[in-house]
């Protein structure tokens, strides 16, 4: 871009990934924007014990403003302090007073201030609105200058534009090579197959199918489960539960087992074109990735050579049974090359800056934006 921007970003948390899967995405996008000379202020509520579970200090590439979560008045104070910004972003899933924030940031729109809604879980947001015609966010969508999502492809674009969005563009998850890279194996995370993900209602059944049932079917193999919320869930004897894995251990978690499993939540799998951050974290570290099947995977990684794809638990078990260390290494290396060449956050910011330079054309018909 010709000019640097002052960007005010309202999200769940930049400094804590505790029950906050969007943290990796926020960090990658915003660091890449800062490297282009843009000034970032990130506003996050003091909620869900995230400040007590910080995994990074305040970064030097963004100013972090933590506001109280106990009253709507703190939201209005935070929004008012962003009035001088050139670009204001309200992310989905802040988790505290979202409905108030979604309306309040629109008061900052002006000829010099662009206001964007950035949906970091579009399948969940769209499913919620489609189930409730009285959802208050429906009326706000046409008032935003632009809707961005971190995935979803054409199904999400069509759904948002049918709800009145001026324009909807996916800015997909990607690799931050500053953060995710190969490290030596760590005995704490040894195993044949590892899965990292919090326990969520629309994920648990798929974790049973693609991971826990596979562990039961292969008792001689070792499995590793990481993420919050699984403490009271009975697990097969050959599954080692690591609990919450802080981001500073993600590279070791991904580099140590024979393979790493990705399991999309049900809503993300049904919309397709929604690669989660875990894919890029694992591949950036050089892991051999096995993923559940979803439409659009080939836009990011080539099945069979850069990623292994399974339609059910039986196929996960078969892939794991046939996987040799040599093939796992070859797949991991090929995937890492592909992601570094095509899918870093620098690539995503190229698209974002192009969009911001072309604001006057946002209302015109466009072709689908490929990653």
| pLDDT tens digits for range 230-247 | 999 999 999 999 999 999
Nearest C-alpha neighbor of 208 from the set 279, 266, 268, 294: 266
Confidence of residue 365 (pLDDT cuts 50, 70, 90): low
The pLDDT assigned to 202 comes to 82
Average pLDDT over residues 176-194: 97
**Per-residue model confidence as pLDDT tens digits over 50-101:** 999 999 999 999 999 999 999 999 999 999 999 999 999 999 999 999 999 9
> What pLDDT score does 156 carry?
95
Cβ contact 147:119 at 8 Å: yes
**For residue 225, which of 258, 255, 260 has the smallest C-alpha distance?**
260
Beta carbons within 10 angstroms of residue 203's beta carbon: 20
pTM greater than 0.85: yes
pLDDT at 2: 67
Task: Please tell me the predicted confidence (pLDDT) of residue 265.
Answer: 87
Q: Indicate if the pLDDT at residue 116 is higher than 90.
A: yes
CA dist 242 and 197 (Å) reads 11
Give the pLDDT band (50/70/90) at residue 364: low
**Residue 290 · residue 311 · CB < 8 Å:** no
CA–CA separation, 67 and 74 (whole Å): 6
Q: What is the set of domains in the chain, with CATH numbers?
A: 6-174+345-361 (3.40.50.2000), 187-342 (3.40.50.2000)
Write out the two tokens for 293: 């099947």
């Amino acid at each position: 871009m010709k000019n640097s921007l002052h960007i005010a970003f309202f999200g769940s948390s930049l400094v804590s990934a505790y029950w906050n899967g969007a943290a990796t995405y926020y960090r990658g996008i915003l660091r890449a924007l800062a490297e282009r000379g843009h000034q970032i202020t990130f506003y996050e509520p003091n909620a869900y014990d995230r400040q007590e579970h910080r995994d990074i200090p305040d970064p030097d590439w963004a100013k972090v403003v933590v506001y109280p979560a106990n009253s709507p008045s703190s939201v209005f104070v935070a929004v008012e302090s962003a009035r001088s910004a050139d670009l204001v972003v309200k992310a989905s899933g802040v988790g505290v007073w979202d409905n108030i924030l979604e309306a309040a940031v629109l008061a900052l729109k002006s000829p010099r201030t662009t206001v964007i809604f950035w949906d970091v879980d579009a399948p969940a947001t769209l499913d919620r609105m489609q189930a409730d015609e009285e959802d208050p966010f429906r009326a706000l969508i046409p008032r935003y200058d632009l809707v961005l999502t971190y995935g979803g492809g054409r199904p999400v674009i069509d759904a948002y534009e049918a709800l009145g969005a001026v324009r909807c563009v996916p800015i997909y998850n990607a690799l931050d090579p500053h953060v995710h890279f190969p490290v030596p194996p760590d005995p704490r995370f040894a195993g044949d197959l590892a899965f990292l993900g919090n326990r969520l209602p629309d994920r648990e059944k798929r974790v049973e199918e693609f991971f826990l049932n596979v562990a039961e079917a292969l008792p001689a193999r070792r499995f590793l489960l990481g993420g919050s919320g699984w403490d009271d869930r009975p697990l097969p004897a050959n599954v080692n539960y690591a609990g919450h894995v802080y981001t500073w251990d993600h590279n070791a978690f991904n580099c140590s087992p024979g393979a790493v499993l990705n399991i999309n939540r049900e809503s993300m799998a049904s919309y397709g074109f929604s690669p989660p951050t875990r894919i890029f974290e694992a591949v950036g570290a050089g892991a051999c990735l096995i993923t559940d099947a979803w439409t659009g995977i080939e836009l990011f990684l080539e099945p069979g050579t850069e990623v292994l794809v399974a339609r059910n638990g039986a196929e996960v078990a078969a892939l794991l049974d046939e996987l040799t260390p040599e093939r796992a290494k070859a797949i991991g290396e090929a995937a890492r090359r592909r992601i570094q060449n095509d899918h870093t956050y620098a690539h995503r910011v190229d698209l974002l800056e192009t969009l911001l330079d072309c604001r006057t054309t946002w209302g015109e018909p466009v072709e689908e934006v490929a990653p």
